[in-house]
Each structure stands twice: as structure tokens, then as C-alpha cells.
Amino acid sequence: MKKYDHVEDSIWLATSILTYNSYIKQRENNIIDATEFYFTQPEIIAKTESICTKDVHNARVSQHCNADSHDNTYNYLRAKDTLRRVTYIGEFNGDKEYPTRFDLSDKVDTLDGEKTIKEIVDFLSNDYKSIIKEYDNNKLLEILNFLKIYGKKSYKNPINETNPIEKAKLEELKFKGQNALSLFKDMCMSLEDENYKNKLSPKWLDGSNRYIRGYLWSELKHKDKKDLPTSISIVAEKTDKEANFIIYLEIRDEDASKEYYLRHNKFLDSLDIENEDFEYFIFTDQGESLNNLNKSEIKKYIETRMNKETEKVRIGKSFSYDFVKDNSSEYIIDIMKDTVNRLKKYYEIAVQEGDNIEMSTTTNNNPKNLILYGPPGTGKTYNVADKALEIIDYDKYKNIIENPTKREEVVIEFNKLKEDGIIGFCTFHQSYSYEDFVEGLRSDGRGGFEPKDGIFKQMCENASIKAQTELPKYKFDSNKISVHKMSLGDTNNREDNIYEYCIKNNCVSLGWGREIDYSNCKDRDEVKEVFIQNVPESTGKDFDINAINRFKNIMQDGDLVIISQGNHKARAIGKISGNYYYDPNSEIRYNHFRKVEWLYNGEAIDVKRILKDKVFSQQSIYTFYNEDLKFDYIKELISEKTEVISAKNYVLIIDEINRGNISKIFGELITLIEDDKRIGEKNELKVTLPYSNDYFGVPSNLYIIGTMNTADRSIALLDTALRRRFDFIEYMPNENILPTDIEGINISKLLKTINDRIEFLFDRDHKIGHAYFIKENLQFEDLVSIMKNKIIPLLSEYFYDDYEKMELILGGSGKDKDNNYLLNKTTIKANSLFKKKLSHIYPDQVKYTVVENPTVNAFINIYSDVEIDEYIDEDLDNEA
């Protein structure tokens, strides 16, 4: 076999040959496992050196050829931890994904005999590409493939292997086991909510570490019932020939006494055997599987033959290997969630007997990250307000959410919560960036720049703020105290320690007033007199005078002082608890002090939470007007509490989320929004932000709701990183809520006909929403305006001014001045426009115009002669 000089090209060819050989070997065994196409660096280097004239160093594989490395030169390989696979043809749209220097007619040795490089390229373009894409799209299948191929087989620790090739294979097997367990854990966590948490068996090896387990197992339990042996079990297991998933109600035998069995089996009294479509994973006392019995026989067995003190019946659902293979992970997870939710009803009965602890019936089961998607006019933005109120406090708002006549109240509450910083709203667009969304540098007004928070960071900080039970609380009357603002030191100077000193020593300090003692000054005039005596050049109008007077005389014991952090945040709140004193030997550069009792000094608070439509002034000290303050929030934060305030839910709404460049906007934070990566969760992650250097994480009580118009961009084209981190709720047109008689026009039938035609000629993503036709006291004149000014321009945009298709959708066209159609069609002859000797050059053309004043018949003609729904069935019947 020919040897080559170019190292990187040889690495590509060597990995491609390894891949092809693995494919041939697997094909012979009738099992194709995509993970077998990942190879260790020693394997790749060994194969490369057999076809290359030069030495091959690790960096050539790990960096130069690795598309997932920042230092790559070529996109020949993809990385998965320490393993590598060859890039399939088209994975990078032809950008350095395979060498162009080879003679494609060159032959290489494979397990299938000699093959030309062109045949290898064809394999990477077709069979291999399909396998990898299917593998990437279905991570659940990877779990089952691991159990199917390796489950119950022997295992040896790579540390004890001396042969480098065998050692590499064992390392690869170890990686596959750990990866399968990690994917199984992710699957189980996707079935959790704030009350139900998983307890995962953390091993893929058996107790001896010499055999690979034939199953992976997790128990889903209510957080208040985690010590009971009853659970909703989630299992991936190897069967005789295949592998599958099972979710069922279970009680652990080794942890269960007779009393526990009786408690657990209480759910059988409420089990609706006739109507529930559960499977039964248990055998009778005669060795029969309950699944092989009919429903009346199952019911009879449970009622008459089962010993409920020692026996159990597992109810649930299984997911076969073929089912998992044929469906997307997202679809399967949705069905799993539905199974878990149906089992919860019986689980809650099984853990309540003799316990009387009530389970939460108002659990917030909303996903942390949600996208409402659908064609224009289907109510996505309309419903996002309801969804936000539901997340924040369903019990409080359910009466207005569920009552369509109280829409005005929904809007009022929504806007109030938005003003209070509990709801945030932004819209993505092509030029929206990380600096707008997270943080960026903005002018400080003094010729420099300072970090400024974007909406996402603001909402994360708002959601992170809660009462601090270790600090004193203060129950105050807002009519009897004043609230002051102060600055403590320079927030832009990290070496300035004034704020930290004041927090530590329970005081506030003022930098104005020079090194002068004002202890005997009872009012502003006396302060002014002392200042002028010590500062002869003073005009008597210096800010020092006002600042000292406010600090010493206007501030009273019991008043509140809010410490600002720039113009847009507060970082502490305290209660004045002592008189003014002067310290000439102060440890800091300020000399004027008042004692305070700190009531809050946690996460920085957005000014919107404290002030109404204002920001903090740059003055070092001043007093607020009470009408500018949001006392409800201040009291919530610092008033007397005997226990920790439960975290309130916050909502960030991102309109048109699909129109932004997700990687550009979220940057490294896209990972932090995952449920398990949020603050306080199992796999909490924080990052250091690039501009402010703040250590930043996403709180678990911040919910993100996006909306997207599928007419702009199909859900299938969304950024992959975004898709896998969000749940999706589809909003499609609901023609049934539209009127059926507006001056003889059936609006419901009209819109359904239009949408069916759009779906036939284009796709379902471009249907037209019912909201276009919703209006109080809809009249015929309104309908004409809607069609002329909204629907027809939208169709023109969809079909790029292809009026022949628009004619099909709108039920035909009339001749010039025929008002019984929405479109008129006329033929323009060339000889009517040009001289006769030129007219033969151009063919006749068709011209369409929108009818200015259509009649009622113009609308009826759209759906007349069409039987809605029946024309589809008729075609199918004919085919049959």
C-alpha cells in the first residue's frame, strides 16, 4: 500500500480506514453502533504511521486535525472527550473536512479488500453520514446500544492492562460506560420537577467491578418521601436480544416491611384498570405475566389472589429498542414525562397511607426554559402573559388567567410585575448581541467606559435576591421615617475598602466636609459657619455644607439608608442607629461616621426594585421622596421574618427568539441555563464574566420564555444548542373559535380552507393565525380591510408574489372589475403596448390586481365547492 508524506492528510485517511473497517465488522454482526467509530489517539497514530513516511505526534491528532480544538488547521476529526472520529462529508459544508491532495484512484487495504480512496469518500458521504446523524439525533438510543452490546459482559480495569492496544480498547469501553451512565442521568433529570427528584444508582459496573451491569436504574421520589421504599422507577435494561426503557411504580423489596407493602398497595384500590393503558411488569403466583391477561382477569387477580402484605404489582410503560430507534429523543422524553405524570397520581396514594402529609397540588411543573412557537397570529405573544403569571404565582392569578373576560386585569398585573422587575422583556434581532443581553461596556459620561448589565444579568440578579435571615429585621412605618441614599467609596476602584470597612464595623461614613469636627453643629447655619472658619476660600455654597448637614442633622435614628452601587443598583440597606461622630484617626480616608444596623448586604439590587421610574443620582447623599419608593419590596426584603422567604419565581420573556444569533447573544452562558447547571442544583456552574469580572450563575427560580414565528424560521433550523435546552409548545391556528356567520360569511370555514391550501402548497409553518380575524363586533368592512391589508400582503410575501398560487388559495380570480373575487386577472397583449414590428418579440402577460371593493361572494368563493376535511378522506379512499 502506498505511503504518503503529508501527516494531517494521512491522519484523515488512517481514521477513515479504521472507520470503514469498523463498519464492515459491525455489518457482519448485524449491529451498527456509532460509538464504535470513535478511536483513541494511540489507535489513530499507530494506523497513520503505517501509511505515512513521517513521525506522527499527538498534537497533530488532538489539535491540528481536530475541528473541536481552538488551534485546529483542518476539520478532519471530531472529538468526544479523549476519543476521535472522522468528519463525515458535508459536516462542515466542505470546509477543510477532507484532503484534496489525494489521487482518488489510489487504493488502500481494508477488511473488505482493496478500496479506492473515492470509495472511502463515498462511504463517508452516505452510510457513515446517516449513522452519525442518527446517532447525534437520538442520545437515548446510545444508552440502549451500550447495554445491548456490552451488558453483562466481563470487564477489566485499564490500569491493569500492559498491552497498549488492549489498554486503549479498555479505556474506550470505560468511556462508553461512563457516557451511557451520564446520558441516562440526563434523561432521568429531564423527568424531574421542583418536588420530584431522582436518586440514581451511580455505577455501570456490578459490585465486583468485573462485569458490566445489564441495567441502569434511578428512583424518582417526592422530596418529602425520599426515605420510603416506594418510587417511580426509571430503568434501562438489557433483555434476551434487545434493550429497552421501562418506567413503573415500584417498591424496593429489601427495604419494605409488611406495613410498607400494605401502604404501597393501597394505590391498587384506586387503579382504573379498565381505562388506564398501563403495562403490568409482574408475574402471578402461577408464573403468568399479567400483561398476557385481559383486564378483567388482571382485576380479579389483584382483588382475590394477590397477597398485598408480601406481593406487588408494577404498573407503567415500556419503550422498546425499535420504538426508541424510530423516534426522536425529544418525542420519547415527552411520552416519558406523560407516563411519569400519570404515575404520580398512584405514587401519591402509595406513600400517603398512615402518613397524612399532603402532597403539593399546586406544583409548578413549567419547564425552566420554554419556547412558544407557531405561525403568525396564533396567540403566542397573547398567551405569554398568562404563562408568566402562571409561573410567578398560579394560585394568586388563576382566576384571571382562566377567565377570558378578565384579559384587562391580566395585562395590568403583567405590566405591574414588569415594572417591579419580576418580569423582564426583550426582543431578539439580527444585531442584538451579548453586550445587550448579558453585559457590555458603555460610556460613563466622563470620557471613560464602565460595565453595564444587560436584561439577562439584571433578571438573574433580581431573582437571586432574597431576605437574609442572619441579619436583623426592621418592621417600620413608611409614614414615620425617611429613606436616604448614600455612596460608600468608589465602586469602580477594586482597591477602595470603604464599603467593606463600613459593613464590617456597622457604620456609614461620609467623605465630604474635610477633616473638620461638626459634633456641636445643630443645623445647616452652624455647619456652614464652622466650614467657612476652617476653609477661608469657601464661598459658603460648597456641597460639603449640605452633605454634612444631611448626614448629621437630617438623618434621624430609625431612618433607612440605601447604599448605591453606581446609578442602577443598591448593594446594602441599613437602619440609622447612632448619632454623628468624628474620628480623626480613621482607618479609612473618611472621618465622618454614623452607626447603622445593616439589614441587607447581599446580591446587588436593581434600582427598578426600589424606585419608581427613576435611577440613583450621583450625589453622595440625599433624601428620597416617599412617593418615589417601592416600599412593598423594601419591606419584603428587610421586615421581620421568622423563616427564610421562599424564592419567588421570575420570568424573562424573549420575543422573536429565533431571529437572534444565539451563540453571539448567550455566549458561554447557554450552558448555565440548563436546569441542573443553575445555582443550587446538583451540577451548579458559574463563570467569570468578561467585562465586570463578576462570578456569575443563573438562579433556579428564573424562567425563560421565548416566542418564535415559524413563518420566519422553522423550528428545525433553530440553533442546536438552543433546541436541546428548551421545551417547546406549539400554537397553531384555531379556526373553531371564529364566527360562522358575518353577513353570510363563515369565517371559520374560510380560514381553514386558506390554511389547508397553504399547507398543501407550502407547509404548515406558514399557516395564518386566527388572531387576524378576532375583533369585537367584527363587521364585513373589517373583514375586507383584514384581507386587503394583512392576509393578501402576507400571502404575497410567502409566495414571493406568485399570484397564480395566491389565486389557488383565494378560490380563483375574476375578470377586470369583477368584485365577486378578491383578485382580478387580465391578459396584457404586447401589441397593445409596443409597435407592431416589436410586439412579436414579447409574449402576452397576465396581470393580477387586488379588488378594491369585494362583495360578500368574494369571500364565500374562497371556500365554496370545498367540503372541509372530506376532500382529504375522499382522496385516501380512492387510493385504497
The pLDDT averaged over each successive group of 10 residues in the chain (880 residues) is 92 96 89 86 93 90 84 87 87 85 93 94 92 76 89 86 85 86 86 84 78 90 86 91 90 73 86 85 68 82 82 90 83 89 90 50 69 90 91 88 87 90 92 92 76 89 66 82 91 75 92 94 94 91 93 94 90 93 92 93 84 88 92 79 58 91 87 87 86 87 91 62 82 90 92 93 90 90 94 92 92 91 89 70 84 93 65 36
b/e map 142-176, b = 16+ CB within 10 Å: bbbbbbbbbbeeebeebeeeeeeeebbbbbbbbbb
3-state SS class at 38: coil
Comparing CA positions, the residue from 797, 799, 714, 735 lying closest to residue 761 is 799
Is 308 within 8 Å of 285 (Cβ atoms)?
no
Angle, helices 139-150 vs 127-137, to 10°: value is 110
In Å, how far from its chain's centre is CA 75?
A: 29
Q: Output phi, psi for 105, to 5 deg.
A: -85, -10
Give the pLDDT score at 284: 61
Residue 235: beta bridge partners?
217, 246
Give the pLDDT score at 880: 32
Residue 522: beta bridge partners?
none
CA distance 305 to 295: 15
Is 582 within 8 Å of 646 (Cβ atoms)?
no
Which strands sit side by side in the sheet containing 315-319, from one edge to the other? 196-200, 215-222, 230-238, 243-251, 315-319, 279-280
In Å, how far from its chain's centre is CA 507?
A: 43
Burial class of residue 668 (count of CB atoms within 10 Å of its CB; 0-12, 13-18, 19+): middle
Is 191 within 8 Å of 200 (Cβ atoms)?
no
In Å, how far from its chain's centre is CA 138?
A: 19
Pairing of strands 107-110, 845-850: unpaired
CA distance 708 to 655: 7
Cα torsion 808, 809, 812, 816 to 10°: value is -110
Give the pLDDT score at 714: 53
Q: Which residue bears the cell 428512583?
A: 219
Comparing CA positions, the residue from 789, 638, 656, 782 lying closest to residue 712 is 656
> What's at 134, amino acid-wise?
E
> What's at 252, amino acid-wise?
R
Q: Which residue bears the cell 434487545?
A: 242
Question: Nine-digit cell at 356?
Answer: 397524612
Which CB contacts under 8 angstroms, 24+ apart, belong to 742-751? Answer: 742/778, 742/779, 742/780, 742/783, 743/779, 743/780, 743/856, 744/856, 744/860, 745/780, 745/783, 745/856, 745/859, 745/860, 746/860, 746/863, 747/773, 747/778, 747/783, 749/863, 749/868, 750/859, 750/862, 750/863
> What's at 344, amino acid-wise?
K
Question: Considering Cα of 797, then 802, then 807, then 809, what sign does the dihedral take?
Answer: negative
Q: Which residue bears the cell 497513520?
A: 48
CA distance 573 to 553: 20
Give the pLDDT score at 353: 54
CA distance 321 to 324: 5
CA distance 245 to 218: 12
Give the pLDDT score at 717: 54
Helix (H) or strand (E) holding 533: helix 524-534
Helix (H) or strand (E) holding 695: strand 695-696
Give the pLDDT score at 509: 95
Q: Read off the pTM.
A: 0.50
Give the pLDDT score at 492: 66
Comparing CA positions, the residue from 732, 807, 799, 735 lying closest to residue 773 is 735
Question: Nine-digit cell at 102?
Answer: 489525494
Helix (H) or strand (E) holding 382: helix 380-401
Cα angle 102, 106, 112; round to 5: 120
pLDDT digits (tens, 9 = 90+) for 439-489: 988 876 677 787 888 999 989 988 876 555 456 778 888 889 999 999 998
Comparing CA positions, the residue from 68, 74, 81, 112 lying closest to residue 95 is 74
Comparing CA positions, the residue from 680, 670, 687 lying closest to residue 726 is 670
Question: Considering Cα of 714, then 715, then 716, then 720, what sign does the dihedral take?
Answer: positive
Question: Considering Cα of 580, then 586, then 588, then 590, what sign does the dihedral take?
Answer: positive
Give the pLDDT score at 361: 37
Is 787 within 8 Å of 861 (Cβ atoms)?
no
Q: Which residue bears the cell 422524553?
A: 333
Q: Which residue bears the cell 421574618?
A: 641
Question: Considering Cα of 827, then 833, then 835, then 838, what sign does the dihedral take?
Answer: negative
